[in-house]
């Protein structure tokens, strides 16, 4: 009689291995969504950044009126600052009276 040389591996219980689909950070812990940044000079605005590719981030800001600002690059903190400055400019431009003529 000939027997297979292949060995069968035991199936692990999902609770022992964890959920392979669940997001994890680089240290192996559970990934936690950071809280949005808010600044006192921009009431109603909220800013955040997500990693969209390895080492590439997309920062965005939104206000309660539905206006958006966005920036993409390598440094999430610098991108949030860039979005903050764009929002400040947007708010300053809105406060200027419309010139006719």
DSSP letters of the chain? -------PPPPPPHHHH--TTS-B-TTSSB--PPPPB--TTSTTEEEEEEEEETTEEEEEEEETTS-EEEEEES-HHHHHHHHHHHHHHHHHHHHSPPP--
pLDDT digits (tens, 9 = 90+) for 28-85: 444 445 678 899 999 999 999 999 999 999 999 999 999 999 999 999 999 999 999 9
Higher pLDDT, 63 or 13: 63
**pLDDT range class, residue 2, cuts 50, 70, 90:** low
Query: Considering the entire predicted model, what is its pTM?
Result: 0.61
């Amino acid at each position: 009689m000939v027997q297979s040389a292949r060995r069968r591996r035991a199936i692990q219980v999902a609770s022992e291995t964890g959920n392979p689909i669940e997001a994890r950070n680089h240290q192996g812990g559970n990934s936690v969504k950071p809280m949005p940044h808010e600044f006192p000079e921009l009431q109603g605005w909220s800013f955040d950044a997500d990693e969209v590719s390895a080492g590439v981030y997309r920062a965005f800001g939104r206000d309660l009126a539905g206006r958006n600002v966005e920036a993409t690059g390598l440094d999430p903190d610098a991108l949030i600052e860039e979005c903050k400055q764009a929002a400040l400019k947007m708010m300053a431009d809105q406060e200027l009276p419309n010139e006719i003529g």
